[in-house]
């Protein structure tokens, strides 16, 4: 029987975190690095990845590689994995955190905004999953964690969140997660998702600043998520200890979807 330390030890593993240079992406990257994994931080703005990588490498004493990648572009996703394999020779964990949103009334929603959100949140997640899956199937081991959202489960009053493409994209991510979990179980790959509630980030700041009072009424814990409250969920789903969990959509939301 493995010990708890062994079940959650990521030493020798390589983890890619898209959008890992800020917000909840950085929080999740820290969780994996603290458990011993070498990290790859990938985002369109590579300068932020470089800055955060230097900080993480200094604080965590693990190798942290910053790389540019627009996950909605197939060629850039392929280039990302080629660089990671050239550097480390393997990919054990992928956290698909890169995301986009676009706010507008649904009756007036612009097609350009719709495509921007779906290209990043759905197509980007799919491309990252498929390329990871090809590598992990050869290894007969892998952990994929997608970022869904409480928006995947419930509609939102327009006064709270008027972003129909985002709601749609996160429901698609949940469906993709469950289907790949079934298809890839035979290859030793688990595919799960985390569905965060409201966490203060650059993306959510405008909404939280303007509507926090109404939003807090819908959260049983009556507060937003904290700076370390996604770390344990991330580490669990990324760990050897989650070997019998696949197709799980784990809500970390203060009780929002239970209302």
Whether the predicted pLDDT of 29 surpasses 80: yes
186 membership: H or E segment, kind and range:
none
Q: What are phi and psi of 25, to 5 degrees?
A: -65, -45
Using a pLDDT cut of 70, give the percent of the chain over it: 100
pLDDT confidence of residue 217: 86
Domain total of the chain? 1
| Domain with 104 in it | 4-253
Q: Flag whether 245 is in a domain.
A: yes
CATH of the domain at 247: 3.40.50.720
Q: Flag whether 17 is in a domain.
A: yes
What are the residues facing 41 on neighbouring strands? Answer: 17, 66
CA 87 and chain centroid, separation: 22
Give the model's confidence band at 207: pLDDT under 50 very low, under 70 low, under 90 confident, else very high: confident
- Whether 141 is catalytic: no
What is the DSSP secondary-structure string of 194-218?
EEE-----TTTHHHHHHHHHHHHHT
Q: Flag whether 258 is in a domain.
A: no
Q: Flag whether 62 is in a domain.
A: yes
pLDDT confidence of residue 130: 98
Whether the predicted pLDDT of 202 surpasses 90: no
The phi-psi region of residue 195 (left if phi > 0; otherwise alpha if psi is between -120 and 50; otherwise beta) is beta
Q: Flag whether 189 is in a domain.
A: yes
Instruction: From 204, 189, 166, select the one nearest 245 (Cα to Cα).
Output: 189
Q: What whole-number distance in Å separates Cα of residue 115 and Cα of residue 84?
A: 28
Q: Flag whether 259 is in a domain.
A: no
Say which residue, 200 or 137, is predicted with more confidence.
137
pLDDT confidence of residue 162: 86
pLDDT confidence of residue 107: 95
Whether the predicted pLDDT of 210 surpasses 80: no
Q: Flag whether 50 is in a domain.
A: yes
Whether the predicted pLDDT of 190 surpasses 90: yes
Point out the catalytic residue in the list 30, 109, 141, 166: 166
Give the model's confidence band at 173: pLDDT under 50 very low, under 70 low, under 90 confident, else very high: very high
**Token couple for 101:** 């949103």
């Amino acid at each position: 029987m493995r010990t708890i330390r062994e079940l959650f030890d990521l030493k020798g593993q390589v983890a890619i975190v898209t959008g890992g240079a800020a917000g909840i992406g950085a929080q999740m990257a820290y969780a994996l690095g603290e458990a011993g994994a070498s990290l790859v931080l990938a985002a369109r703005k590579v300068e932020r990845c470089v800055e955060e990588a230097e900080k993480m490498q200094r604080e965590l004493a693990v190798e942290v590689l910053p790389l540019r990648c627009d996950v909605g572009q197939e060629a850039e996703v392929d280039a990302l994995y080629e660089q990671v394999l050239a550097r480390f020779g393997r990919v054990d964990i992928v956290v698909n955190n890169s995301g986009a949103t676009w706010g507008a009334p649904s009756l007036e929603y612009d097609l350009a905004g719709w495509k921007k959100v779906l290209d990043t949140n759905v197509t980007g997640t799919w491309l990252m999953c498929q390329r990871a899956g090809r590598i992990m199937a050869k290894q007969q081991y892998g952990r994929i964690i997608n970022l869904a959202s409480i928006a995947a489960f419930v509609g939102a009053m327009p006064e709270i969140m008027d972003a129909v493409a985002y709601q749609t994209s996160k429901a698609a991510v949940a469906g993709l997660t469950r289907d790949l979990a079934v298809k890839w179980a035979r290859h030793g790959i688990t595919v799960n998702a985390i569905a965060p509630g409201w966490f203060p980030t650059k993306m959510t700041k405008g909404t939280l600043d303007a509507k926090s009072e109404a939003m807090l009424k819908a959260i049983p814990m009556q507060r937003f998520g904290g700076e370390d409250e996604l770390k344990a969920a991330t580490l669990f789903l990324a760990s050897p200890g989650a070997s019998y969990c696949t197709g799980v959509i784990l809500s970390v939301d203060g009780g929002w979807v239970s209302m």
